[in-house]
Amino acid sequence: MNEARRTSAALEVRGLDVYYGHSHALQGVDLTLESGVFSVVGRNGMGKTTLCKAIMGLVGVSGGSIRIRGEDITRRPPAQIARLGVGYVPQGRRLWRSLSVDEHLRLAGGMRPGAWTVERIYETFPRLAERKDHGGGQLSGGEQQMLAISRALLTNPHLLIMDEPTEGLAPVIVAQVEEMLLRLGEDGDMSVLVIEQNIGVATAISRNVAIMVNGRINRIIDSGRLAADRVLQQRLLGVGLHAELEPDIDVAASGVEAKPAPLPRRDGPIRIYISNPTLPTRWSQPVPIARIEAAARTLSTQVARLDETAQRKRGPVTAQTAGPPAVLVVGTLDTKGQELRFIRDIIAEGGLRTRLVDVSTSGKQSSCDVSAQEIALNHGRGGSAVFGPDRGAAVTAMADAFANWLRRQGNIAGVISAGGSGAASLVAPGMRALPVGVPKLIISSVASGDVGPYVGPADITMMYSVTDVQGLNSISRAVLANGANAIAGMVKARLDARAATAQGAGGLPSVGITMFGVTTPAVQKITADLRDDFECLVFHATGVGGRSMEKLIESGQLAGVIDLTTTEICDLLMGGVFPATEDRLGTIIRSRLPYVGSVGALDMVNFGAPETIPERYRGRKFHVHNPQVTLMRTTAEENERMGRWIGERLNQMDGPVRFFLPEGGVSALDARGQPFWDPDADAALFRALERNVRQTGNRQLIRVPKNINDPEFATTIVSAFRTLFGRAGARRRLAR
């Protein structure tokens, strides 16, 4: 039993002692990493880097043992340890200045066979592909860290050790490294030991965190508890918030009863103080207060924080702003201030909390709750990208900034805006980023025309303003009041429904399923088999159906996907009337949800009436579905093209993937004796997928000798989904 337990652990350290001369650097360290990602944090000089070096054989071990998958590696030379499957990303990166990016990677590749190749590195880190001919000394800090990580990944290790992977990096690069660590942990192909001083990163990537104090593992604590316990962080790690140390104190006037002062608002920048701004050891003298002050980092609450990024990964929506849910009243206050405040006052009179948000691009200051300058900080290039002389570019940049800001707010009860086409263009992208179900209303003069570009796949309500939104009059007052009362009613109903749901039992997890008429029998069988354990949401694959499903994925409202009918890809590539967008499968790639897919209805391109078929397709095999829908059979060449397209997307999926190939036909029309039966075309599709998809333990193609509508095929789909959902659910619990 004991040997079996040891074999299952990726890393097991027992009673590890390391000395530097007479200094006892590691004192009986005990640590076990079963699998996934594990973080070790601590002040400088506590022995974290020494632990890494001891595992890699770079420092002498005086006592104790180190085991990798049950094999004792204590006192073995570093090269042998690396060949056994231990990769190392050292602190400081340690790149060769004279070698190019590509030379670094080619030098590291080939030590051990596995999924990580130079080509995959370039797919994962496109920036390195762009800089492949640059020397190590010509790269930015973030690029150097990407290269150092890539160099270790190319050894295809069982255990990857990363010492301070986010040290000295910009916040946006830190977020990318954090996301990559989460992805590596979820892949399950390797375990990762991370030495990290950034508490936000350390607690986001692993379930438990080990704290090192004076060369020992002081404790192993739940990451959620450590992230929330500022007192513990300050006591053991020497970090704290300066703002918490200086509360405002009001002295009551003589004879007047003193009332508790309200807590100060944290709208301004927060200074983060670290007790060791230099690189001391635990034998160093105390750091002077003046040096701590000089080394403090300033974080603005108006810009995304790393710990907020980590929290967003644990759930679809996380509250980022204190207080009860609020209705956002958004618009260009420099030109529509009177109208927007009119809407705000009506909503507030109904008892709802409001926040007035300015998205104007003129740069003028307005009285509001969230200024345009604050919103602009959320653009990737900052306010300079928003407040420029080109109005079109400014509107586009502000729309991006507002969408970024909106994603970071977690207490949104609803959003309403009023204005012309410019205002609608400013707020609509952000509204589309919100989850389905959050009330969204735009009052605009463009609402009587084609609103598709504004609404997209989201549940945005658009109301025609009748008169232009320019001043208050008898008509505009009535329309704006109707809009304000409508959003208030939607918000109240939704809050009441959520409260009722919270009191009752939790609902079933939702799964998205794609369907077409020619795959209906399979979907009916799948939903019948899953309905006791899942809420099955079926989407008709007519272009907007796939977009709506992926919108719910983006909103965090689906727990998994059974993408049985991918026919929208066929129309995208061949010019049909029900096309997907180029981002089809994109949200699945980004969310890493359990994904079970198939090639449903890829045997057909959808057109309208026969006379609408493009001239280039004359003479092809057609089937008239109804007077308004004509189906065209795809050729072997077209199926090969679709196989390559889908294969590229599947390779980008890091979540659990099973993709099924029905050898008996991909639709009801593609069955023996039916009009679209063409085994050669189907075989071309399957071969292209098998040639292009990089199969791993987590990503598999599976042939089934059945038609897609046979009950046995549906049963196979259901069994695979239940298996993947169980694994993914366990991983989500681990991440917490």
Position 325 scores a pLDDT of 85
d(CA 187, CA 116): 12
**β-strands 535-540, 510-515: how paired?**
parallel
Its pTM stands at 0.47
Q: ∠15-17-20 over CA atoms, to 5°?
A: 170
Residue indicated by tokens 């009179």 = 349
In this prediction, residue 607 carries a pLDDT of 92
- Cα–Cα distance list, 257 to 247, 248, 249, 264, 571 (Å): 20, 18, 15, 21, 74
Measured over the CA atoms of residue 396, residue 400, residue 403 and residue 409, the dihedral's sign is negative
Q: Identify the bridge partners of residue 561 per DSSP, sorted by sequence position.
A: 512, 595
Start-to-end CA distance of the chain, whole Å, equals: 29
pLDDT reported for residue 283:
53
Sheet holding 159-163, edge to edge: 86-89, 159-163, 191-195, 37-41, 208-213, 216-222
The predicted pLDDT at position 35 comes to: 82
Alpha-carbon distances of 602 from 313, 569, 606, 640, 713, rounded to whole Å = 34, 8, 10, 11, 17
pLDDT, position 457: 76
Compute the half-sphere exposure of residue 375: CA atoms within 13 Å on the CB side of its CA.
33
Q: Distance between CA 523 and CA 459 in Å, rounded?
A: 25
* 605 bridge partner residues: 632
Asked if residue 412 lies in contact with residue 406, where contact means CB atoms within 8 angstroms, the answer is yes
pLDDT along the chain (736 residues), means of 10: 53 90 86 88 85 90 89 89 87 80 81 80 81 80 81 86 78 72 74 84 84 87 76 65 35 39 43 49 52 48 36 36 77 89 91 90 83 85 77 85 85 90 86 87 86 81 86 89 92 80 64 94 94 91 88 85 96 93 91 93 93 90 87 96 95 92 96 94 96 91 95 94 68 38
* Residues facing 193 on adjacent strands: 38, 161
Q: Is 569 exposed, middle or buried (0-12, 13-18, 19+ CB in 10 A)?
A: buried
Q: Which residue, among 124, 78, 82, 134, has the nearest Cα to 104 in the 3D structure?
A: 134
Distance of alpha carbon 431 from alpha carbon 380, whole angstroms: 19
Give dist(CA 503, CA 543) in Å, integer: 38
